[in-house]
Each structure stands twice: as C-alpha cells, then as structure tokens.
C-alpha cells in the first residue's frame, strides 16, 4: 500500500504587482479607451467604408461620450445590486451596445433587435453564473 499523499494546498491569488495609483488610473483609462474604440467602431460601421466626414467624426465622438458615460454608470451602480440585477444590468448594457453597433452596419430592424437579444441572454447567463458562484445572495464576495 502506497503512502497517503498530503492534501493539496489552497491556491493563493497571484501577487498584485501594481500599486494603488496604477489601479486608480486604470479605473478611468480602460473605460475611456473602450469608449473611444466603440465610438470609432460605430462611426466606421455607419460610413460603410466611405470617406471620413466631419459629421462622421462628430457621430463617433458623441457615440463614444454616451457609451463612456453609460459604462461608468454601469461600473458604479452594478456592484451595489443583488446578483440577479447585477447580471441583468450588464446584459442590458451589452445587448444594447451590440444592437446599436449592429444597426449602424445597416442590418434590418428585426436582426438589429433579435441578435442583440440573444447576445444579452447569453451575457445574462454567463454573468449570473459568475456572480452566483462568487457572491452570497446579498452581493458580498465570497472568499
């Protein structure tokens, strides 16, 4: 009979190599960069490969501004909600964002609503599972 192996050790989280200043900057820089990419993507979809115009630039920057404000709102409000509403808020945000981009590419109204609903449903399922396995019913993270 072989010797009994010791129980595996608990996996510790990786070390945090960034200081608090880097994390504070990232909390602002990442959503701003995402908003700029989203605005560019929406403007590119809208012009369908045509020339870049002033109106197209304005559309891209306004889209980036609205997306950025909504993303900051979701990032601020969502963690305070229960896991069901937390997942639902992210699903609505992702579905609406995807639907807007899809619509700017010239898709029909039915496809611009139907496919984003599927994306939102999948997002809800994935996020709810993630929050359900990592939070208690009130929304506090479980270690």
pLDDT, tens digit, 9 for 90 and up, residues 93-136: 999 999 999 999 888 889 989 999 999 999 999 999 998 888 67
In 3D space, the residue among 127, 67, 73 whose CA is nearest the CA of residue 96 turns out to be: 67
pLDDT tier at 31, thresholds 50, 70, 90: very high
The pTM of this model reads 0.80
Same domain, 76 and 86: no
Based on the domain organization, do 27 and 64 belong to the same domain?
Answer: yes
SS3 percent helix, strand, coil of the chain, rounded to 5, is 70, 0, 25
- Total domains in the chain come to 2
Domain that holds residue 122: 82-143
Instruction: Determine, yes or no, domain membership for 4.
Output: no
State yes or no: pLDDT of 17 exceeds 90.
no
Average pLDDT of the segment spanning 76-84: 89
Q: Tell me the pLDDT of the chain averaged across its residues.
A: 87
């Amino acid at each position: 009979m072989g010797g009994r192996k010791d129980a595996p050790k608990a996996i510790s989280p990786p070390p945090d190599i960034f200081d608090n200043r880097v994390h504070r900057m990232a909390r602002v820089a990442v959503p701003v960069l995402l908003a700029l990419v989203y605005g560019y993507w929406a403007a590119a979809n809208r012009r369908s490969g045509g020339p870049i115009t002033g109106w197209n630039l304005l559309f891209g920057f306004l889209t980036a501004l609205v997306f950025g404000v909504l993303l900051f709102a979701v990032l601020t409000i969502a963690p305070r909600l229960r896991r069901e509403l937390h997942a639902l808020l992210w699903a609505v945000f992702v579905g609406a964002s995807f639907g807007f981009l899809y619509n700017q590419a010239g898709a029909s109204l039915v496809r611009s609503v139907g496919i984003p609903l599927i994306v939102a449903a999948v997002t809800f399922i994935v996020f709810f599972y993630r929050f359900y396995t990592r939070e208690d019913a009130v929304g506090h993270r479980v270690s």
